[in-house]
């Protein structure tokens, strides 16, 4: 086994917003999903993480947002580092320093950027030098959606059937390049039901879950065709509908649970009002209360003005398609 390393590697990964949702695992240990999914990487929300494997450490030392994390709070990071050690042959504890420029556990996919950055920094610090495909596979083991944050722009996570075949691939296109996401941070507190628990409840107890698997296959094929055809209306309609179909699983679980707040519903209705008045926009919502409005550059100002008046300008952020993982 390799027993020494002095490299500190820093990586930056951006969060992504799922447009065709990932909701449910058929293998919870390897994080193999029941369905493929499609996302857009965003430029405004990201995680920066530095990793050094250090012979002077007796255990992993993990700092997130300037706070040392210990006990159960550090378990996911420690388990991921164990995976890196197993695959690299390195036998050293690691020092991890991570800063999230994403509200944590509020439905803005903070775990996606966090584990994508950790996978990139830790693997390179351990001397692995992975391809982007293998890096996507590794990131998936920390958080499923992290496999998509390895790449920029539109990204498809191909569900696969085992560890080797489940990874993300970029969707190369020049179409819909004026797409914008207006993110509304109506709530910054942690959600009451984690994505992992919510998925498990939905898979186990919603009578509609088998239908969801079929629906996602159709939605994914249709949205990829909309991207290829440069059809924003079809693209937005499919995205909004798929999000609501996902949240129908939480409402039909036993016990039922809901990620929306009153402000979420206000924002959803306002998007519909804008659309009916001729301002084309659509919403999508992940596992949390915060809403993401899908629009084109020409309508950004009226949308941001509207929601700044409703919720305050500090809660409104405009994002563009963002880049894949980078090393600093």
pLDDT of residue 5: 58
Q: What are the φ and ψ backbone dihedral angles of 206, each rounded to 5 degrees? A: -75, 125
List of the chain residues with pLDDT < 70: 1-5, 103-109
Give burial (CB, 10 Å; 0-12/13-18/19+) of 317: middle
Q: How far apart are CA 260 and CA 288, in angstroms?
A: 7
Q: How far apart are CA 4 and CA 52, in angstroms?
A: 11
Specify whether domain 9-174 bears CATH 3.40.50.1370: no
Per-state percent for the chain, helix, strand, coil, to nearest 5: 40, 25, 35
Q: Which two tokens stand for residue 1?
A: 């086994």
pLDDT of residue 322: 96
230: left (phi over 0), alpha (psi -120 to 50) or beta: left
Q: How far apart are CA 186 and CA 175, in angstroms?
A: 30
Q: Do residues 250 and 194 touch, judged by C-beta distance below 8 A? A: no
Nearest to 9 by CA among 99, 126, 92, 107: 126
pLDDT of residue 191: 76
What residues are paired with 2 via a beta bridge?
Answer: 90
- This prediction has a pTM of 0.93
Rg (CA), the chain: 19
**Domain boundaries 179-319, corresponding CATH code:** 3.30.70.890
pLDDT of residue 103: 57
C-alpha distance across the termini of the chain, in Å: 28
Which CB contacts under 8 angstroms, 24+ apart, belong to 185-188? 185/103, 185/106, 185/108, 185/290, 185/315, 185/317, 186/261, 186/263, 186/264, 186/267, 186/289, 186/290, 186/291, 186/311, 186/315, 187/106, 187/261, 187/263, 187/288, 187/289, 187/290, 188/103, 188/106
Q: Which stretch of DSSP H or E encloses residue 242?
A: helix 232-251
Residue partners of 130: CB distance under 8 A and separation at least 6: 123, 124, 138
What is the residue extent of each domain of the chain? 9-174, 179-319
pLDDT of residue 105: 44
């Amino acid at each position: 086994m390799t027993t020494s390393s002095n490299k500190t590697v820093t990586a930056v990964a951006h969060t992504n917003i799922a447009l065709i949702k990932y909701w449910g695992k058929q293998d919870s240990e390897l994080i193999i999903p029941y369905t493929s999914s499609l996302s857009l990487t965003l430029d405004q929300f990201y995680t920066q993480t530095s990793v050094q494997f250090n012979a002077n450490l007796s255990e992993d030392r993990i700092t997130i947002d300037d706070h040392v994390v210990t006990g159960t709070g550090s378990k996911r990071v420690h388990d991921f580092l164990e995976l890196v050690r197993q695959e690299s042959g390195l036998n050293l504890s690691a020092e991890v320093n991570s800063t999230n420029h994403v509200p944590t556990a509020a439905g803005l996919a903070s775990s996606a950027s966090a584990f994508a950055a950790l996978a990139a920094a830790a693997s390179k610090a351990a001397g692995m030098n992975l391809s982007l495909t293998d890096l996507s596979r590794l990131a998936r083991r920390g958080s499923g959606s992290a496999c998509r944050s390895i790449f920029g722009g539109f990204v498809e996570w191909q569900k696969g059937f085992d560890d080797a075949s489940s990874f993300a691939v970029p969707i190369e296109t020049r179409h819909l390049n004026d797409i914008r996401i207006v993110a509304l941070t109506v709530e910054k507190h942690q959600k009451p039901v984690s994505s992992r628990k919510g998925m498990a409840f939905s898979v186990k107890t919603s009578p509609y879950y088998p239908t969801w698997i079929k629906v996602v296959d159709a939605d994914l094929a249709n949205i990829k065709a909309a991207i290829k055809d440069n059809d924003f209306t079809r693209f937005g309609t499919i995205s909004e509908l798929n999000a609501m179909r996902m949240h129908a699983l939480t409402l039909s679980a036993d016990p039922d649970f809901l990620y929306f707040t009153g402000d979420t519903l206000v924002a959803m209705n306002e998007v519909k009002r804008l659309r009916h008045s001729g301002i084309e926009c659509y919403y999508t919502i992940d596992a949390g209360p915060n809403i993401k409005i899908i629009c084109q550059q020409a309508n950004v100002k009226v949308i941001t003005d509207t929601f700044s008046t409703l919720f305050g300008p500090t809660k409104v952020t405009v994002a563009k398609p963002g880049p894949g993982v980078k090393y600093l």
